[in-house]
Amino acid sequence: MKFDTPAGTNPIDAMTVVGRAHDRVDGPLKTSGRAPYAYEHHEVAGDQAYGYIVGAAVAKGRIRTLDTAAAKAAPGVIAVVTAADAGKLGKGKYNTVKLFGGPDVDHYHQAIALVVAETFEQARAAAALVRVDYARTAGRFDLDSALKTAPLTGGDSDEGSGAPPVDRTGAFEKAFAAAPVKLDQGYTTPDHSHAMMEPFASLAMWEGDELTVWTSNQMIDWGRGDLATTLNMPKEKVRLISPYVGGGFGGKLFLRADAVLAALGARAAKRPVKVALTRPQMANNATHRPATRQRIRIGATRDGMITAIAHESGSGDQPGGSPETAVNQTKLLYAGKNRLTAMRLAVLDLPEGNAMRAPGEAPGMMALEIAIDEMAEQLKLDPVDFRVRNDTMVDPEKPERRFSERQLVRCLREGAERFGWSRRNATPARVRDGRWLVGMGVASAFRNHINYPSGARVRLGRDGRVTVETDMTDIGTGSYTIIAQTAAEMMGVPIEQVSVKLGDSAFPVSAGSGGQFGAANATAGVYAACVKLREAVAQRVGVNSADARFAGGKVVSGNRSVPLTEAAAQGELTGEDKIEYGGLDKTWQLSTFGAHFVEVGVDAYTGATRLRRMLAVCAAGRIINPKSARSQVIGAMTMGVGSALMEELAVDTRFGLFINHDLATYEVPVHADIPHQDVVFLDEADDKANPMKAKGVGELGLCGVGAAVANAIYNATGVRVRDYPVTLDKHL
Ligand code: MOS
């Protein structure tokens, strides 16, 4: 189905199942431990052996000798695999750095060997016996010094939110120089780790020249293609299965070392082999969100109209990598005739940087929304009013492009009302509650919506059950549930009558899970397949599909009404299709908006910050399931608290690694850190986005939260911190 004109009225609009809060259909399986994750597919292949990855102990250099004799002789060891044994390996399209290193080492903890043994403990013990002699060479590990000579570089994010190296509209420098009120400030964000709960894990099994890998991956088709490329084999011979994913946050968008090494280990051991990264390996073996150094300049008239705005960002990555596109939102969020965005990319020999939840906007909004707060203060304007004053209904760089839907002002106004924003004291450090200095902060939320083609197959069984098959993944987000809702609405059956099968490359290729594009695109693909199935049903019972309605388990046309079980009695019916996009997103700017409000208390004696209240108001198209969408947003707000207050990969610039590579030292919020969170969705149905009229919402919940927390801390204390995380040493 080609989506190239705005959606008219369609069966989803009935909203009998879609748009209602449904518990997760996979909830009972998950809470009872019966949903198998990658490391737990005990049922599918007998005789499984355990692989343990040996990671490089230097960040840059060459392996002189790699002695595996002692490891091979250790108890229980079946095989030891090195890159030298593996033959020539290709490099996947989505990988910047080789997943199996040696003799050259590109980063710390790059996989250089796999030990396969009968038990995990034997593999781990033997891995410690692998002797490696390295010739270490100097590496580039310090972002600030590397940025001094870094070139301007465009971003080509795999999640579709790229930006050119430099973009100009009007004459920024001139307008900025002439502006009566100005801000010119620097902001920094550190490297972040995805720190997802389920580690990277894969189980590989060969049958002849065919490979099956049970893995934990967000994008089945990307992973399948890149695994085939890496192993120099035809894509058709590779099957990837990933029905449940315990969090990804962008780290599992791509093929990683666990899958490649499990496949190589299984080949060497002639048995199924499973490999998981240990928690300490995850920070340095896998990808991370790159640190940024950002500069923002804003010029405005005395009455608070922005006349000039510039956002520059610098980040680093391995050779061939991409910049963190932290300038993305500044291109679209506020009005202003004279504009500049620019990005620099330094070469670093730290582990590969790549997408992490809301890549670009998440760190970009952390900076921009402090800058807006600072500017409002200079202008003596309420920060809500300053934002409202500079709202725009068109792309400020291309005024002929309108936003398909944009309710930023309503989000801000309604949020202010609900949060009691009028009680905020605009003068910092004036509100005291016992030992707590109390402050409120606000930030806009913004994240683009991305269209991706997405396919599905829907079957109507003779028993009247509807089964959906697509390689879409559920990374904890609720895909199973919203896909079941979509099929139930389209086929007119109760949700209990729908089975959803996901995460298998044997199924039609979907959009996958990433960049908050999964829910809207995957359900739109299911919609398209259901249209086909409805046609097949109508044809079978001899009615015109155009005026057939599907409701109450029946197809109804004129005065004919046929139960679906009767329609399918002579044999199962199938509909398969994919949603494809015909360029409405070129005519219209598809984005999602929100507002975050935060109240903090800062301990007047210790400087410790405690969240007191949080509210997000979101406008992001039709909300397919308000319950799972709310869970997405409160999860994102929690992640935003982490990035505001504690998350930071500490770079050891001498040895070139992230030194706090475990959850004891890479701190993320726990329940005790999170107070009352409220989420409100404004009514919206975006007919320019897709037939579901839905857009993404998960990452929107993250974008802006960090700045709202930082702004609240400023309001509480009067100390402006521009370097995240806002730890107590920075504002004491
Ligand atoms: Mo997204 S960066 O895959 O959470």
pLDDT for position 158:
59
pLDDT for position 44:
82
CATH class given for the domain over 2-35+451-581: alpha beta
Annotated catalytic residue within 312, 377, 469, 699: 699
Which of 256, 357, 479, 510 has most ligand 1 atoms within 8 Å of its beta carbon, as the pocket-test mutant?
Answer: 357
pTM of the full structure: 0.97
The interface predicted TM-score (ipTM) is: 0.96
pLDDT for position 574:
98
**Ligand 1 atom showing the smallest separation from residue 249 Cα:** 4
Contact 56, 112 (CB under 8 A): yes
What is the C-alpha to C-alpha distance for residues 538 and 547, in angstroms, rounded to an integer?
10
What is the C-alpha to C-alpha distance for residues 187 and 139, in angstroms, rounded to an integer?
26
Contact 541, 558 (CB under 8 A): no
Concerning whether 699 is annotated as a catalytic residue, the answer is: yes
Quick one: tokens of 244?
Answer: 């449940």
Residues of the chain predicted below pLDDT 50? none
pLDDT for position 732:
77
Omega of the bond leading into 363 within 30 degrees of 0 (cis): no
How many whole angstroms from 250 Cα to the centroid of ligand 1?
A: 3
Burial of 227 (0-12, 13-18, 19+ CB in 10 A): buried
What is the C-alpha to C-alpha distance for residues 306 and 60, in angstroms, rounded to an integer?
46
Residues within a 6 A CB radius of ligand 1: 218, 248-250, 253, 355-357, 359, 514-515
Q: How far is CA 397 from CA 57, 294, 337, 479, 700, in A?
A: 47, 20, 8, 35, 22
Report pLDDT digits (tens) over 162-220. 788 999 999 999 999 999 999 999 999 999 999 999 999 999 999 999 999 999 999 99
**Ligand 1 atom showing the smallest separation from residue 514 Cα:** 3
Burial of 435 (0-12, 13-18, 19+ CB in 10 A): exposed
pLDDT for position 157:
61
Quick one: tokens of 330?
Answer: 């500044």
What is the C-alpha to C-alpha distance for residues 389 and 694, in angstroms, rounded to an integer?
28
pLDDT for position 162:
75
Quick one: tokens of 622?
Answer: 């039709």
Q: Taking the domains of the chain in order of start, what are their residue ranges?
A: 2-35+451-581
